[in-house]
Amino acid sequence: MNFIELADFLNEKVVAYNQPKFIESDPIQIPHCFSKKEDIEIAGFLTATIAWGKRQMIIKNANRMMELLDNSPYDFIIHHSEKDLDSFDNFVHRTFNVTDFKFFVKSLQNIYKNHNGLESVFANNIVNAGTANAIHEFKKVFFEIEHLPRTTKHVSDPLKGSAAKRLNMYLRWMVRNDTAGVDFGIWKTISPSVLSCPLDVHSGNVARKLGLIKRKQNDAKTLLELDKNLRILDVNDPVKYDFALFGLGVFEGF
């Protein structure tokens, strides 16, 4: 395909998958259970954190997280006591266990009480028209309180080579604002133009077949290559093509 044909092809796939029906089988359904801004962004963050493995299990365990937070994530995080965390003791999702979950709740409390919330931490550190520095600085804030070293692996760092797929997916959820009703667009202080595509095995394989990337690893350098080409396709909303790449890979076996 030439450039125009590629753009037309991907734009058609964006329209096909960026639809409310997409929510039904995707982890984004978890934050869609809420209406309050803080509940949506906390539910989204925790869901994105465990978004690896089978999607059915991700959804099941994310729902369990919300239940343990009394289905009021912001209120629970702000007002919880140490004893309230006792009910977490049997929670586990792959390598994310109860120790990690308890720390995440405590760290989120610190962020909302002392850093003006998740949006502010990310928005205050956007530089060079990208999300890499914002995610890097977020990780520093997230782990500024006492923590076990094992938990740091659950927050990726693009400046150390990671594509940070789950956090870039989370930022897409919070920032993109269109009329499709999938992404939330509740963070107004970050432009969709700076977002990076959530690069994983599926989107990476499709992107290679379409000539959007050449590197074999799904890492930070490859993400820069993909972002550069997606920005050529749409400078204002490049990450919308995540719907096309993911849909082609997961649903169409492209």
Q: What residue ranges do the domains of the chain occupy?
A: 3-250
pTM for this model (two decimals): 0.96
CB 86 within 8 A of CB 154: no
Tell me: pLDDT of 3 over 90: no
Q: How confident is the model at residue 253 (pLDDT cuts 50, 70, 90)?
A: confident
Q: Which amino acid is at 188?
A: K
DSSP classification of residue 114: H
- Round to whole Å and give the CA distance between 186 and 207: 28
The string of pLDDT tens digits covering residues 179-211 is: 899 999 999 999 999 999 999 999 999 999 999
- Helix or strand run (H / E) with residue 92: strand 92-93
Q: How many residues does the chain have?
A: 254
Q: How far is CA 253 from the centre of its chain?
A: 23
Q: Could you report the per-residue pLDDT of 162-181, keeping only the tens digit for each? A: 999 999 999 999 999 998 99
